[in-house]
Amino acid sequence: MGLSLKERVFTALLGIAAASGLTMLILILVKATNVFLPADTKFGIVFDAGSSHTSLFVYQWPANKEKDTGVVSQALTCQIEGPGISSYASDPAQAGESLKSCLEEALALIPQSQHQETPTFLGATAGMRLLSQKNSSQARDILAAVSQILSKSPVDFWGAKILTGKDEGAFGWITINYVLGMLLKYSSGQWILPEERILVGALDLGGASTQISFVPQAPILDQSTQATFRLYGANYSIYTHSYLCYGRDQVLRRLLAELAQRSPVARVRHPCYHSGYQATLPLAPLYESPCVHTTDSLNFTQNITVEGIGNPGDCVAALHRLFNFSSCKGQEDCAFNGVYQPPVHGQFYAFSNFYYTFHFLNLTSRQPLNIVNDTVWKFCQKPWKLVEASYPGQERWLRDYCASGLYILVLLLEGYKFSEETWPNIQFQKQAGGMDIGWTLGYMLNLTGMIPAEALTQWRAQSYSIWMAGVVFAVLTLSAILGAAAVQLFWTQD
């Protein structure tokens, strides 16, 4: 006796389900290809505790890394309110408290699941180096206070320490060459070392120190000025030196103190301040810095009246007295104060206060040296009332731009030995490649070399057309099974 209609329909539906299910499995297993999903993004936080202010930077990079170093990008920058942490010598706890608002902003950006594995570091620069010289216990108290706050936060706290000037210079050099694509570049679907790399030098002018870092043409003769490191599978050796007390703020303080010591009365005629400027200042704060040398005859309880005379020639002469150029006489490879320096070579990027001063003076478009010099001198000769009227809302630093501009010229030309021929090689920049130029990115790149890489996650995947076909056969299989079940349950035979 043959099969009934119900049995034939039921058998057909089961056959369809089996065939479409088998086809779906073949598409999934045979037509699939191996794909690698991107590794998780890693984050890092660096506090730049400078002499005049503190900044927070958040960096990110793929966890799998390239040639043992992370491909790092800047995700956030936050300016912390208030002065640099070295200013909290009398209230160290407040130095730690000041970091909280920017830290909260950083933690809001980073996924909460990654907070505990986010390396966080605070690096203090020349302001704290000076405080450590003046009062080491106060410097330790400040570092302890910031460490207490950061160690309590849900991050992987790597510590707070005072950077050496050599590290600050070397990390700044790494930063600028990285953001310009000199250390690594993306080509033909992969990261490679650039074939023709013209490495650039770094010029940093902070509040308390200045750094010069570059690759010289000849071997470095003084090993104390040499920094070496390995990034993206390549080794680097650069010249770098940091001059403590030659940052912008300390030079301005030393300049005023030097003029006060030369003045026989409590009225100081300041050649770097604009004519018509006048202010009464306490004398004692000038001598709080280890950079300022004192004489026993001074009465620190008195005030001094400072009167601007707007004489750029006398200003340059006064700035010269802050350097010891005679110590380099007869030495070819020497900058100033008897410090070894090979001749400058290649392109340079000047940032921090180099940039801020020249940006104010509208001199960041690579103008020729004679134009730069003429612009600074003319600005210095403007009456104070005209300067005030021309730049409303900029009173805080306005009186100092003349001295700063002339100081930069003296430092670069007579200190670092740039010339009219090599001056065009200097670019004054705040950012490059969308990232701030400074030591923090260089530090993070170096740090990523110490963080283990994570392997890419391997998955089986199909092309879009194969995936769509698989979905169709899956639906067909399910429909056939449901149809067979319905036939079995609800079809009644006569």
pLDDT attached to residue 331: 85
Judge: domain 248-431, CATH 3.30.420.150.
yes
**Cα→Cα distances 486→15, 470, 492, Å:** 15, 24, 11
At 274, is the pLDDT very low, low, confident or very high (cuts 50, 70, 90)? Answer: very high
- Flag whether pLDDT at 10 surpasses 80: no
pLDDT attached to residue 62: 80
| Number of Cβ atoms within 10 Å of the Cβ of 166 | 17
At 454, is the pLDDT very low, low, confident or very high (cuts 50, 70, 90)? Answer: very low
Choice among 34-43, 84-93, 106-115, 332-341 with the minimum mean pLDDT:
34-43
Task: Catalogue the E-assigned strands of 53-133.
Answer: 54-62, 73-80, 119-124
**Neighbouring residues of 473: CB distance < 8 A, sequence distance ≥ 6:** 20, 21, 23, 24, 27
Containing 47, the helix (H) or strand (E) segment is strand 41-49
**Neighbouring residues of 351: CB distance < 8 A, sequence distance ≥ 6:** 172, 176, 202, 203, 204, 205, 428, 429, 430, 437, 438
- Flag whether pLDDT at 2 surpasses 50: yes
pLDDT attached to residue 65: 54
Compute the average pLDDT of residues 139-160. Answer: 96
pLDDT attached to residue 453: 34
**% of the chain residues with pLDDT over 70:** 82
Cβ–Cβ under 8 Å, residues 228 and 236:
yes
Compute the average pLDDT of residues 456-485. Answer: 61
pLDDT attached to residue 473: 63
- Flag whether pLDDT at 11 surpasses 80: no
Of 473, 493, 472, 483, residue with least CA distance to 14: 483
- Tell me the binding residues for ATP: 207-211
- β-partners of residue 237 are 228
Q: What is the pLDDT of residues 44-78, one digit of tens each?
A: 999 999 999 999 999 988 866 555 555 788 999 99
Q: Is 168 a catalytic residue?
A: yes
Q: What is the pLDDT of residues 387-415, one digit of tens each?
A: 999 999 888 889 999 999 999 999 999 99
Query: The whole model's pTM is what?
Result: 0.81
Mean pLDDT (the chain, rounded): 86
At 226, is the pLDDT very low, low, confident or very high (cuts 50, 70, 90)? Answer: very high
Choice among 103-107, 397-401, 470-474 with the minimum mean pLDDT:
470-474
**% of the chain residues with pLDDT over 90:** 62
Q: What is the pLDDT of residues 320-346, one digit of tens each?
A: 999 999 998 888 899 999 999 999 999
pLDDT attached to residue 34: 42
Choice among 56-60, 191-195, 249-253, 432-436 with the minimum mean pLDDT:
191-195
Task: Measure the CA angle with vertex 451, ends 160 and 36; round to 5°.
Answer: 145
Choice among 66-80, 171-185, 441-455 with the minimum mean pLDDT:
441-455
Higher local confidence (pLDDT), 302 or 141: 141
Q: Which of 66, 117, 168, 196 is catalytic?
A: 168
- Flag whether pLDDT at 241 surpasses 80: yes
At 21, is the pLDDT very low, low, confident or very high (cuts 50, 70, 90)? Answer: low
**Cα→Cα distances 107→97, 103, 116, 213, Å:** 16, 6, 10, 33
At 476, is the pLDDT very low, low, confident or very high (cuts 50, 70, 90)? Answer: confident
Higher local confidence (pLDDT), 65 or 21: 21
Q: What is the pLDDT of residues 199-218, one digit of tens each?
A: 999 999 999 999 999 999 99
- Tell me the binding residues: 207-211
